[in-house]
Chain A
Amino acid sequence: MAKFRVCPDTGFFFDKSAESLMKANAVAGAVALLIAGIMALGVVLTRWQEVHLLPADLFYQVLTAHGINALIFWIIFFEIAIMYFASSTLLRTRLAAPRWAWAGFALMLIGAVMNNVAVMQGNSSVMMTSYVPMQAEPHFYLGIILFAVGALIGCFVFLGTLVIAKEDKTYDGSIPLVTFGALTACIIAVFTIACGAIILVPTFLWSIGYINHIDAEMYRVIWWGLGHSSQQINVAAHVSVWYLITGVLFGARPMSEKVSRSAFLLYIFFLQLASAHHILVDPGISSEWKVFNTSYAMYLAVLASMIHGLTVPGAMEVAQRGKGLTKGLFEWLRKAPWGNPVFSGFFISLFTFGFIGGITGVVMGTEQINLIIHNTIYVPAHFHATVVTGTTLTFMALTYLLLPLLFRRAMIMPWMAKLQPYVFGGGMTMMILFMLGAGTLGVSRRHWDMDFTGAALSFEYPGTAYLMMAVGAIGGVLGVVGGAMYLIVTVGTLLFGKKLDQSAGFLQSFGVPLPASAYNIDQPEQLPMAPRVVEEHGSAGFEAPGTFVLAMALLVCFVVYYFINWDYLASVWPLS
């Protein structure tokens, strides 16, 4: 009956089947990231007009593969691993229905492979969004449907695991904040997958001829319930990981459980409304609907993100000050472990997600401002700040944390890991900033040739737009290099890293459990509540004054940039 092993360094308990599933999902995610990264190189080197690497058909094909592998397969595989960690490992409980979990994993894998094959065959270059009536091969849609069903099974395994933990009383009190955040991600995921099923199942039937018409606007409205909400799973998941990392590295405790959990609750209620961001310049949708939905009902989900923006670094600051780093406003930050990729990855992610991803997202999601931004390259610039420097970099940081715990291997080439978040974060930030600029100049997204070779008529973008696309592409290449560094370190570690446990062999790196003797604990002791903190540091004034200054800086940037864009809008032709 022995099922658990304990990590000797951290004291985390790993259930045998949960451990294998986490490894398998994380590795599958990394493979998707590898494909996405190779495709990314093709995309940036083609959009760099002076290089213009790929021919048009191959470019659109590669862009389709890049989008789906990066935005769906990489991230959701990894999120399933996080959900199992946040439930089984953090709550010291066995995983519910491991066979179902494996079935879900198999479906996800089959779906991902099937979809990739469809795209590679060349007749499904329809982009991730696959707007009807443009049609892909049936197995393009079927692949995504199977993947989604598998992910849904993963969600229910997670929920089942929470139920078991509660029944078995494996923890005292309420679930930890990190698990609460993962639960938020799971609830959003269920909503997301439901939207996907509602629209993609009929689309699949249409592609094989059983349905003769799918309304183009209805497709867009419901598809974005999948497309945008799936990125909201990421937000909830990576914010949870931020809390986890501050907890592990600094022993930080949430400034207020109530505030942080309420912010997650706001995500559950309001975040999905943002699917409307994509429909703001569509015909047949009323302004009232657009205003209410695009603003998440009065920006209540933005409020939630702004709260996390204060409480995540705030928790870290309080913990650091508690250790005596109290000089000035920022000693706690200056003396943070900047050479540890777990920290640097986390902090760069927090910063770029808030300052770039968050601000640009709200600005372009404003009903009228969207007129000057919709479908320009500003849009991918924004979501690379949220999903790449935000979510992906956070997951990379988490990987560095988990390599020794979960995979029982010591990291190889630590110097490369140390540099990686800076190269990846720096390169991507450079790409994002210049793409934002090019988008403001009207450069289109998903476009092979800004020279319009072969068009009957002509139009010339300003020289600045070309320059920005070129500099942005250099940033993009740097980002790909950073991504490659991540894969070299992690895959290298799985294969060649020093074994921290003699039985952690080759197969064990990919999901095969350690020998039965390693799992020598029947049921760990009940997870206790966190110890009470007797003394509040600096409780006379602000607990985290440095963080408050950073938050105010964010607000000032936000306000200024927001009104600059209104001003820009006011200069275009009157429309009514």
Chain B
Amino acid sequence: MTSFLPPSERIWWNVPVGKQEIIWIGIALVWCLIMFFMMPYWHIFGKQNLSNEAYQTTPEKFQAKVDEMVEKYKVGEEAGIPIVRPPAGSDIYLLGRLWQWYPIFELEKDQSYRVHLSSMDWNHGFSLQPVNINLQILPGYEMVVTMTPDQVGEYGIVCNEYCGIGHHTMLGKMYVKENY
């Protein structure tokens, strides 16, 4: 009767709270704090964190960096897209555009690469499968993530941010090979 009537006590905030609610609030609060501190904990002890490194850029500037890298380290081609084998530990550049990820990388297992990502036009979603790493890629922003592939294989890069009518054809690739 009273959830939709004014409280039965004029000074309702002085009515003591039941034991059950106090215990539950205590438990819930502890859990909330645990969840909160898990995030900084993982920043210190976990291995999967994003850097805060990002730069403002323009499509032209970013394209130039990609082209320079492709020219230097190109080792082949697949479906008209260059395959690039950059040296371990280097800065590598991946661009997303309507509707393509460019270029294809061939990386070495257990080596780290500073991956720079940007979009030439609209929002895109970098979704590396089946590892399932997902990043938001924006035009005008260059995001830097250090990745250390720890399993050899052939990976797909799905675009998982809607980018127009050809969105579902925007599929890239990445190879991870044993140390050569």
Contacts and interface: CB of A to CB of B under 8 A. Distances in A.
Interface string B1-36: 111111111101101011111001101110111011
Contacts of B32: 298-300, 302-303, 306
A444 B139 contact: no
Contacts of B47: 570, 574-576
Interface in A136-183: 171-179
A368 B25 contact: no
Interface in B70-118: 78-81, 100, 104, 112, 117
Interface string A416-458: 0000000000000000000000001110111111001111111
A258 interface: yes
Mostly, the A contact residues are loop
A453 to B, nearest CB: 8
Contact of A291 (B39, B130, B159): B39
Contacts of A284: 54, 56, 141, 143
Contacts of A370: 134
B1 A251 contact: yes
A529 B156 CA distance: 64
A246 B163 CA distance: 45
A248 B168 contact: no
Given A281-B135, A459-B156, A173 B10 contact: yes
B3 A177 contact: yes
A311 B19 CA distance: 13
A88 B145 CA distance: 55
B77 to A, nearest CB: 11
A555 interface: yes
A573 B147 contact: yes
Given A254-B2, A303-B25, A442-B130, A456 B50 contact: no
A310 interface: yes
Contacts of A455: 168-171
A544 interface: yes
Query: For A303, A376, A442, which residue has the most chain B Cβ atoms within 10 angstroms?
Result: A442
Contacts of A375: 125, 127, 134, 136, 160-161
Contacts of B21: 255-256, 259, 307, 310-311, 314
Contacts of A459: 129, 155-156, 158, 171, 173
B138 A282 contact: yes
Given A295-B35, A562-B35, A258 B17 contact: yes
B133 A372 contact: yes
Nearest to B126: A281
B150 interface: yes
Nearest to B6: A173
A449 B109 CA distance: 31
B6 A374 contact: no
A244 B3 contact: yes
Contact of A127 (B7, B159, B162, B170): B162
Query: For B29, B39, B139, B171, which residue has the most chain A Cβ atoms within 10 angstroms?
Result: B39
Contacts of B2: 176-177, 247, 253-254, 530-531
Contacts of A562: 35
A368 B12 contact: no
Contacts of A458: 156, 171
Contact of B24 (A60, A281, A551): A551
Contacts of B165: 56-57, 60, 125
Interface in A527-572: 527-533, 539, 542-545, 548, 551, 555, 558-559, 562, 566, 569-570, 572
A462 B150 CA distance: 20
A50 interface: no
B167 interface: yes
A441 B79 CA distance: 26
Given A455-B170, A566-B38, A256 B15 contact: yes
Query: For A56, A370, A441, which residue has the most chain B Cβ atoms within 10 angstroms?
Result: A56
Interface residues of A, number: 113
B102 to A, nearest CB: 11
| Interface size range on B against A | 35 or more
A19 interface: no
Query: For B18, B51, B143, B147, which residue has the most chain A Cβ atoms within 10 angstroms?
Result: B18
B39 to A, nearest CB: 5
Nearest to B171: A455
B49 A576 contact: yes
A569 B9 CA distance: 50
A133 B20 contact: no
Contact of A447 (B25, B51, B140, B168): B168
B164 A134 contact: yes
Interface string B44-71: 0011111110101000000000000000
Nearest to B14: A258
A283 B103 CA distance: 21
A457 B173 contact: yes
B133 A573 contact: yes
Contact of A56 (B56, B125, B129, B168): B168
A376 B132 contact: yes
Given A131-B122, A247-B1, A281 B136 contact: yes
A399 interface: no
A243 B123 CA distance: 42
Given A174-B12, A372-B132, A576-B146, A444 B31 contact: no
20 contacts: A60-B167, A133-B121, A176-B3, A253-B2, A254-B7, A366-B35, A372-B132, A374-B125, A375-B125, A375-B127, A375-B134, A376-B134, A442-B127, A444-B127, A447-B158, A447-B168, A459-B129, A529-B8, A572-B133, A575-B50
Interchain residue pairs A-B with the least CB separation, the first 4: A459-B156, A530-B2, A247-B3, A283-B143
Interface of B: 1-10, 12-13, 15, 17-21, 24-25, 27-29, 31-33, 35-36, 38-40, 42-43, 46-52, 54, 56, 78-81, 100, 104, 112, 117, 121-123, 125, 127, 129-143, 145-151, 155-156, 158-173
Given A248-B4, A575-B146, 12 more contacts: A60-B162, A131-B122, A244-B3, A257-B12, A291-B36, A303-B32, A307-B21, A374-B134, A459-B156, A459-B158, A529-B7, A530-B8
